[in-house]
Structure 1
């Protein structure tokens, strides 16, 4: 009985790890919908945590501990490690506002044009949600602001395009006459498509550069869009 229980605990930790490791890539490559991927992560959390707690119990009991300390310790580490990753993700989601549309200009955000056909089936509409989202963004990401530059607009456009390409974004449109660059980035784990629009506008003192990033699916972006804009602005420096 003790051997069977130990085998079940080890198997549980392995199954949990497998669920976690395949949840994202399977979604990315279209094997299942992202909802199924999230469910797999949820199951991985509970199974991994359960396996780890049972491993602790078996380590405490002398008879079962004598049957394989190393394997139980590995199970303990694997189970807790597997459970920790989705748990930490949930904590991050809870610490951030449930928004998925971030812009350096929340009063007059850049608009999407060229990516609109790509978003036809997207649950999240391309329009900016309004002041409710803007106020949450200002509180959570006060550093996301318009970039004022003492450079001619044409130079800003070329540099912005180079930075976007250097970050690996897929350029959808480049319109120097409109001062607009549109691009799409695919997230690493789940393969979510997020769209970006860069607006370059001349001012009396130089050029104003704004960036907007919006997810196609999901209520919360877990800070991904804000981080994307930050990375762009930092790369500009």
Structure 2
């Protein structure tokens, strides 16, 4: 290399370094979006799993999930704003980090968003029964003490003067009118035995199964939060003696709204139990 070439090489290196610096500085937003998006997912997962492991109360876990949801929304907004800012830039920063962060945030926000939408479309109740006039009563498992506290409709003029149980029945009937007693053309003991097999196949913890009494009680536990919902199946001979009448009740141990999960459980279980669900007459 000659003395004349050295200044040119130094100049080229300086210009290259100078042009790279703005790109690196602008990509700070890419790192920020990536960290925020991944952080939202991790925060939400830790909040849910930590609740299931008993590290904190479920209310704290739900607050963590909600906070992570807002953080995920912030990651998406930051990514969109940065995309708008650099769309006409002559030296736009790399998009890979920003897009990965936005994608992770979108997955988490979308997942939590489905529950938020569900909460807006179902009533805030957590006790579902096929028989509203005479719900099956738990005998082995214990009904939550606050089951009828904060039942919707207390401020509704149409429900003024009704007891919490009457309001629950009205709200339940309006939202889940399809959930009713069903008839099965099998004897009581056979129905309960089949129900026990189905419950165990679903991974439920069967507290008691008494085919001769027509009763089964069990608990299902959710995956992340480890929420427990208690179920009772009551099977009685039909009035004509031909077959059995099956009633089912599913109750969440905590929370005001079950996001429709108990109704979904009752429908699904009875469909499997009867093959074709037929309303009892």
Return the TM-score normalized by structure 2.
0.76
Matched, 1:171 2:197: no
Matched, 1:144 2:179: yes
For residues 210-221 of structure 1, what are the structure 2 equivalents within 5 Å?
A: 210-221=247-258
Matched, 1:108 2:134: yes
Return the match for 1:161 from 177, 185, 196.
196
For residues 51-70 of structure 1, what are the structure 2 equivalents within 5 Å?
A: 51-62=75-86, 63=89, 66-70=92-96
Determine helix, strand or coil for the equivalent of 1:61. Answer: helix
Q: CA deviation at 1:64?
A: 9.9
Matched, 1:23 2:60: no
Count of matched residue positions in the alignment of Structure 1 and Structure 2:
233
Cα 1:70–1:56, aligned 2, differ >3 Å: closer, same or farther? same
Per-residue CA distance 1:13-32 (angstroms, 9 max, x = gap): 12111112222211111122
The runs of 5 or more residues in structure 2 that have no matched partner are: 1-24, 152-163, 276-281
The question of whether the paired residues in 2 share the 8 Å contact of 1:58 and 1:65 is answered with: no
The aligned residue for residue 95 of structure 1 is 121
Larger radius of gyration between Structure 1 and Structure 2: 2
The runs of 5 or more residues in structure 1 that have no matched partner are: none
Q: How far apart, CA to CA, are the structure 2 residues paired with 1:183 and 1:230? A: 16
Cα 1:145–1:178, aligned 2, differ >3 Å: closer, same or farther? same
Cα 1:177–1:43, aligned 2, differ >3 Å: closer, same or farther? same
Q: How far apart, CA to CA, are the structure 2 residues paired with 1:19 and 1:215? A: 25
Two-structure CA RMSD over aligned residues (Å): 2.2
Return the TM-score normalized by structure 1.
0.89
Determine helix, strand or coil for the equivalent of 1:197. Answer: strand
* Greater RCO (CA < 8 Å, at least 6 residues apart): 1
The question of whether the paired residues in 1 share the 8 Å contact of 2:27 and 2:94 is answered with: no
For residues 204-215 of structure 1, what are the structure 2 equivalents within 5 Å?
A: 204=240, 205-215=242-252
